[in-house]
Structure formats: structure tokens, C-alpha cells
Amino acid sequence: MSPPPLIELRGIVVEAGGRTILDVPRLALGPKRTTAVLGANGAGKTTLLRVAGALTRPTAGEVLLDGRAATAASIRRVSAAVLQRPLLRRATVQENAETGLRFHRVPRPEARRRASEWLDRLGVGHLTGRPAHTLSAGEAQRVSLARALALSPRLLLLDEPFSNLDAPTRGELIVDLGEVLAATGAAALLVTHDRHEAAALADRIAILHGGELRQDGPTAEVWGHPADPDCARILGYDTVLETDLARRVLPGTPHRLALRSEDCAVAPPGAAANGSSLTIEAELRRVIPLGSTSRVIAELDGRRLLATAPAPAPAWLARLRPGDPIAVRLEREHARPVADTAAERPALS
């Protein structure tokens, strides 16, 4: 018999200002697993995290811990939080890392040992005597993680912990955090708007849209099979084709199709079709340089198509102006069907 989830949210509803801001029929976090809650800003991600961490009382529903009704005290005994903007005291790095342990009345020598161990492990042990307010954003987040992990939590609550970091710092910290979670066996609930962070760290992905839990499942399944157009866009499928155009890509399909922009390439107007893709004629709207590639926005019958092109743009593309014809090649094998109605979505696990 499999063990119960570490944390389970059942029938959670949160209302504020006369409207429902969170509606989660069920979300279960397995022990020693990472679940990412993915959604746009304002989707209800932080509210869900606060409910799971017993920081917000839901209007309806219950939170279970190890299969039993949880209390705020029982959840706080097993969890630790890392926030988007680390809240560090105006004290030294060492003192900040010991804060949670001291709150839990861990003797000073033991608190110092455990905090120092995690500061070293996260690469900031050489900063122990520094005032916390002098740290860089990346250093501060590592101290915040050390403070949380020193508590040996069974559940780590991560609220957009990488959002204020530059790209290289973010990448390094994601790798380090993944290794820490694997080594300690702590479960994690990560809320993020970044699908790449979710894919890098999570065993499961849950998608919130407008406060509603739309999809929940293993990372690979959710990543490759978005439940509906909103989930598709959150997962980076920039173009959703209505059924009439979708049937030109995959004859006979009863659903809309979603494609990522990297699976839609542009070509000169009148370009010949090839066997693996559908080539359609559209109108150019805009070319946006993005470093090594360009984002191309085209339009067909009033519907937007997003595609990619090299950067700098090839000569034929640079000569085109908004409204000029352009060919867009849609890769059939990368098109993903998405539900047209709520009833057609995959059932939440």
C-alpha cells in the first residue's frame, strides 16, 4: 500500500472581495517529490502556497498532512518557506541562517553548527560575518535557502525564489537547489510563472489559470499534452490553431492544435511545401529580434501566428514590411491537440 501524500489540498476555495480567487478540487504533494504550480501573475499561485503553508485559511476545503486533518501548528513543524524577496534581518549572514533554529529553541551550539553546514553547502559559508544587507540578490537567496534547510523540513515552500535573479545566477541556483532536494529527500512546492524552472525542478506540474486548477500531472505528460488553450500558452505553445486550420495541419482532427513558435518557421512567400510540415500563406505583422533568433508575428484571417527566424534576419525577410505576404511552415509532428471545452479536459489526478 502506497503512503499517503505528505500534503493534500481537498476542495480548497478561497474567496476575497466577493469573488473566488482560488478553486482547487484536489492537489496532492508526494513525499520526496517536487510539485511546481505554474501560472501567470495573478493566477492564485501565492494564495495556494499560503494555504498549503497554513498562512491563509481557506473559505472552504481542508488540508491534510500525512492523510490526517492538518493544523497550522502541525504544518509549520514540518515546513519552511523561501520567498521571492528574501526577508533578512539587519544582522550577519550567520545570525540570519540561525533565525529559524533559534525560533524553534534549538541550543545555540547546535544552531550554529547546522546553519554553518548549510551556508557552506550553498556556497556562502565565506560570508558568515557579513551584514546581510550588503549581499547581492543571489547571495541573499542562498542565505534564505540555508536558513530554511537548516530546519531539516519535510516540505519546502518556494514562492518565486528565482524571479529577482539574473540569468546566470538563476541557472546556478536552480541546479544547486535540485541537487539539494535530491540529497535531502525534502518535498517541495514551487510556485513560478517560468515554465523552464518548473520543468527543471519538478516531478509534477499543476497549472493555475484565473485561480482555477486546470491541469495536474507528471511533468513530461503536462509539458507535452496541454489540457486547453490557456494551459498551452502558459506552457509556451504560442500559437493555438482553431479547428478549421488545425484540420489542414492534421486532417480529421476534432480539436484545436497548439504549437510552440520554434515549431513554426518562416519562409519567403510562395515557398514550396515539404513532407513534414504544412506551409501556409499569411501576412507579416512584425519581426522582433531576440538575440540569436527573431520572433515573427504573422496573421491569417485575423488570427495570430508566432514563428521563429534567424537573427539577424535573412535578407529576404528584412526587405518585407507589415502587410506583405509571408510563408509559415507548421511542423505537424510537434502539434498538440487541446480541449475545446472544460468537459474535454483530462480529469485532474
Q: Write the pLDDT tens digit of every residue in 128-140.
A: 999 999 999 999 9
Give the sheet arrangement for strand 239-241, strand by strand.
Answer: 239-241, 256-259, 336-338
pLDDT in tens, 182-193: 999 999 999 999
Annotate 129-150 with b (16+ C-beta within 10 A) or e (fewer): eeebeebebbbbbbbbbbbbbb
pTM over 0.75: yes
Q: Does the pLDDT of residue 272 top 90, yes or no? A: no
147-156, 160-169, 190-199, 334-343: range with lowest mean pLDDT = 334-343
Per-residue confidence (pLDDT) for residue 276, from 0 to 100 = 74
Per-residue confidence (pLDDT) for residue 98, from 0 to 100 = 94
Which is higher by pLDDT, 20 or 1?
Answer: 20
86-90, 164-168, 336-340: range with lowest mean pLDDT = 86-90
Q: Does the pLDDT of residue 84 top 90, yes or no? A: no
Which is higher by pLDDT, 301 or 97?
Answer: 97
Q: Which residues pair with 69 in a beta bridge?
A: 64
